[in-house]
Amino acid sequence: MRRYVMLLGLLLVFPLTASGDYREEFEQGFLTKTWSGQQPEENFCIECHSSDKMKPEFLTLAEEWKASWHAQNGIACHDCHGGDPKDSSMSMSPHRGFVGKPSPAEVPEFCGKCHIGILKNYLESGNGKALRSTGKGPHCEVCHGSHNVQRANIDIINEQRCTKCHSYERAKVMKQALFLVEKKAGEIEDGIKALRRAGVYPEEQERSLFNTQAEFRTLFHTVDVNLVNERTDEFTRKLGAIEKDIQGTFIELRSQKNFSAFLMALFSIMGGVLFLIIRTPDK
Amino acid sequence: MNGVTKRIRNWLEVRVGLDELLRSNLTDYRVPSNINLFHTLGAVAVVGYLIQVITGICLLIYYIPHADHAFRSVQEIMTRVPYGWLFRQMHVVGSNLLIAAVFVHMVTIFLMGNYKRPRELTWISGGLLMVITLCFGFSGYLLPWTQLSYWATTVATSIPTAFPVVGDFVSRLLRGGSSVTGITLTRFFAVHVSLLPPLFVFLMVVHIALIRRIGLSATPFGRSDEEKRPLTEFRKKLHPDGYPYYPYLLQKQALMGILYFVVMFLVISFAPTFFFPEEATVPADAFKTPESIRPEWYFLAPYQMLKIIPNKFLGISLQIILLAVFIFWPFLDTHKEKNIFKRPVLRGVFIVVMIAMVILMWWGRR
Ligand code: HEM
């Protein structure tokens, strides 16, 4: 018997000496790849613009972009500038939709391709009208940058930036008007993170927060303090509803814990009683 | 005893011979007098499996095996379905506990040498039960369709491609295509709920029938008459001087079964996210590889072993051989000595294997 089993083992060992023509996918996909991070796609814009062929003053742009919120959301060079990232020689050809670099006055429309609601409010605002009429108003880039665009928050409004063209007075009032709602939104964001850590998928809460926040921030771009103040109540109420929802989920989690602990106690008592009545057989 | 139960009893007695049935299975069935707690682990595994079946059926009522709905349906089980969270937690925690229990069961059987003749078939059926339990875990892992489950399955189903000729085919068969998709999900679902359970029940019946037929092993340590006699005829191992199964061993089994529940609810109450890392609450996204992918803890050792062996074909062949060695172990180890303390080489091998497993698991964890 034993001999047959060993023979079988030998038979299994035999193919070891052969060289396997196993799949590349495995070698590359399983071995060399660490399975972490997004797989970089080939993109000639980035490749060429970060090579030594590039003018030194342009060289940092690609790096800046890589760190941006746009990059993390899959918005690349060609999404803003047009062109074809897959074709190195024709990439910056107008035939491939390349629009080049926007002039300051063009920037709002340039960004507004995607941020439509904000563009509308911006154009109607004092800042927007000033840009239109005198070219003196701030465009999107002044406040958000062009390549290193990060998630927005009210700290964008600061003395350094807002006193370039006028006094800080109005900017300060604006910031105060935003503060209440933004603070509450920040708290809710922390609550959502905590929910995630507790193993809950906070899809609905996340979506309502995102929508409410986007709506409020779109409103901000009117830079109309009265309008913001007028609608602060409405936004606080909306955020309050989300907050309540999150709290409700935590209460639910706690009651689940209690119920499960109760079951545990029940079984512990059952075990304890059984342990006491267990008879050891007498010889 | 009141009248009704007596009448029911009598009704059954005259038809199926209830008294004799109970007597032969409970009181006349004798077990060795020095039986220990490790002998209850098999019963614990049966309890664990029953929990999986019951909670699994409850989940099945609300679960939708479709790539577009699986994640949402599982979230709804957790948040909307009354006590859905409890059933899901019991199923998930239970699956891990079950594997741990089965594993300890196996190791103690090994240490006590109970796999030796005439119990080779019992060991083999047990080994296959272990494999099927692992398959349950593997197929079930994909079902909630989270980032974690999606990518762990992607990695795991790419492993067979290291095998020449058939590897590609096996991988495609598992996935139902070149990558993990909704087709894979329905496949794994079918395997998880309709192929594995009957297989499992069948093997479990064989396993237990063999144990009853052959009789429990005698004293774990020290030689008994079983090894001495030449194996020329079937002789059931009776323990005339042992204890009746009922109530002595049954009590212990019940106690351990209860302990299993206690541990389960302990985890659910105080570490509810123990088996749900962050990626387990994010829906599967084929275009976003998460930061870290790793399989369930019970696959970490083989996973890490595959990773560190440079030649993948060698690695996978080695694992198949190890699996074969494990399943057919009673035929390889025909030494008559049951007591592992009198076999330094085997003891050494055992310790090295255990340490290697722990190291590989730890290593694969990161
Ligand atoms: C007849 C028996 C069973 C049925 C009907 C069943 C059914 C199900 C269903 C419907 C799911 C998906 C819901 C969910 O993910 O929570 C699931 C998941 C799962 N099952 Fe089972 N199951 C059975 C037995 C087992 C056994 C014996 C194991 C033992 C290892 C097991 C391990 C798992 C695992 C690990 C998951 C993934 C859990 C998760 O991450 O959510 N199942 N099962």
pLDDT tens, residue by residue, B105-163: 999 999 888 898 889 999 999 999 999 999 999 999 999 999 999 999 998 888 888 88
């409850």: which residue's tokens?
A: B58
SS3 state of residue B283: strand
Separation of B138 CA from ligand 1 center, angstroms?
9
Q: Where are the domains of chain A?
A: 153-283
Cα B99 from Cα B135, distance rounded (Å):
11
pLDDT tens, residue by residue, A231-244: 998 999 999 999 99
Asked whether the beta carbons of A203 and A246 are under 8 A apart, the reply is no
DSSP B30: E
- Number of Cβ atoms within 10 Å of the Cβ of B266: 16
Find which of A196, A267, A274 to mutate to test the B interface (most B CBs within 10 Å of its CB): A267
Nearest CA to ligand 1 atom 22: B56
Taking CA–CA distances from B243, the nearest residue in chain A reads A281
Measure in Å the smallest separation between the Cα of A22 and chain B Cα atoms: 5
Find which of A256, A262, A266, A277 to mutate to test the B interface (most B CBs within 10 Å of its CB): A256
When pLDDT is averaged across residues A37-53 and rounded to a whole number, the result is 73
Which position has the higher pLDDT, B125 or A223? B125
Asked whether the beta carbons of B123 and B326 are under 8 A apart, the reply is no
Give the residues across from B146 on adjacent strands: B283
Please give the structure tokens belonging to residue B24.
Answer: 């032969």
């590989």: which residue's tokens?
A: B360
Tell me the helix, strand and coil percentages in chain B, rounded to 5: 70, 0, 25
Instruction: Give CA angle at A128 (A123, A132), nearest 5°.
Output: 100
Long-range contacts of A244-248 (CB under 8 A, 24+ apart): A245/A204, A245/A205, A246/A188, A246/A191, A246/A192, A246/A195, A246/A202, A246/A205, A247/A191
pTM of the model: 0.80
Asked whether the beta carbons of A175 and A154 are under 8 A apart, the reply is yes
State yes or no: pLDDT of A35 exceeds 60: no
Pick from A155, A209, A217: nearest CA to A186: A209
Rg, chain B, Cα only: 23
Cα A81 from Cα A100, distance rounded (Å):
6
Taking CA–CA distances from B314, the nearest residue in chain A reads A16
Of B252, B269, B283, Cβ closest to residue A260: B269
**CB of B260 sitting under 6 A from ligand 1:** no
Cβ contacts below 8 Å, chain A against chain B, sum to 149
């034993």: which residue's tokens?
A: A2
The full DSSP string for A16-79 is GGSPP---HIIIIIIII--S-SPPPPP-HHHHHHTSTTS-HHHHHHHHHHHTSHHHHTT--HHH
Cα A213 from Cα B359, distance rounded (Å):
48
Please give the structure tokens belonging to residue B53.
Answer: 């079946």
CB contact under 8 A, A263 and B293: no
Sign of the CA dihedral A121, A123, A125, A131?
Answer: positive
pLDDT class of B237 with cuts at 50, 70, 90: confident
Taking CA–CA distances from B83, the nearest residue in chain A reads A256
Give the residues across from B244 on adjacent strands: B30
Measure in Å the smallest separation between the Cα of B16 and chain A Cα atoms: 30
With a CB cutoff of 8 Å and minimum separation 6, the contacts of B202 are: none
Q: Tell me which of 3.40.30.10, 1.20.810.10, 2.40.110.10, 3.40.50.720 is the CATH number of domain B26-224+239-272.
A: 1.20.810.10
Taking CA–CA distances from B255, the nearest residue in chain A reads A271
The full DSSP string for B289-316 is --S-----HHHHHHHHHHHH-SSHHHHH
State yes or no: pLDDT of A19 exceeds 50: no
State yes or no: pLDDT of B287 exceeds 60: yes
CB contact under 8 A, B321 and A9: yes
Separation of B56 CA from ligand 1 center, angstroms?
6
Q: Where are the domains of chain B?
A: 26-224+239-272
State yes or no: pLDDT of A80 exceeds 80: yes
pLDDT tens, residue by residue, A177-194: 899 899 999 999 999 999
Predicted local distance difference test score (pLDDT) of residue A34: 40
Cα B317 from Cα A141, distance rounded (Å):
59
pLDDT class of A17 with cuts at 50, 70, 90: low
CB contact under 8 A, B161 and A199: no
**CB of B84 sitting under 6 A from ligand 1:** no
State yes or no: pLDDT of A28 exceeds 70: no
Please give the structure tokens belonging to residue B361.
Answer: 């698991």
State yes or no: pLDDT of B225 exceeds 80: no
**CB of B182 sitting under 6 A from ligand 1:** no
pLDDT tens, residue by residue, A248-274: 999 999 999 999 999 999 999 999 999
State yes or no: pLDDT of A94 exceeds 70: yes
State yes or no: pLDDT of B51 exceeds 60: yes
CB contact under 8 A, A26 and B255: no
Most confident by average pLDDT, A79-83, B207-211, B288-292:
B207-211
Asked whether the beta carbons of B90 and A211 are under 8 A apart, the reply is no
Cα B315 from Cα B244, distance rounded (Å):
48
- Number of Cβ atoms within 10 Å of the Cβ of A228: 20
Tell me the HSE value of B132 on the side-chain side, using a 13 A CA sphere.
Answer: 21
Pick from B167, B346, B324: nearest CA to A26: B167
SS3 state of residue B31: strand
Cα A193 from Cα B219, distance rounded (Å):
56
Cα B75 from Cα B77, distance rounded (Å):
5
Predicted local distance difference test score (pLDDT) of residue B254: 95
Residues of B in contact with A260 (CB under 8 A): 86, 89, 265, 268-269, 272
Percent of residues, chain A, with pLDDT higher than 90: 39
Cα B335 from Cα B227, distance rounded (Å):
10
Dihedrals φ, ψ of A135, to 5°?
A: 75, 10
Measure in Å the smallest separation between the Cα of A102 and chain B Cα atoms: 32
**CB of B192 sitting under 6 A from ligand 1:** yes
The full DSSP string for A253-280 is HHHHHHHHHHHHHHHHHHHHHHHHHPPP
Asked whether the beta carbons of B119 and B217 are under 8 A apart, the reply is yes
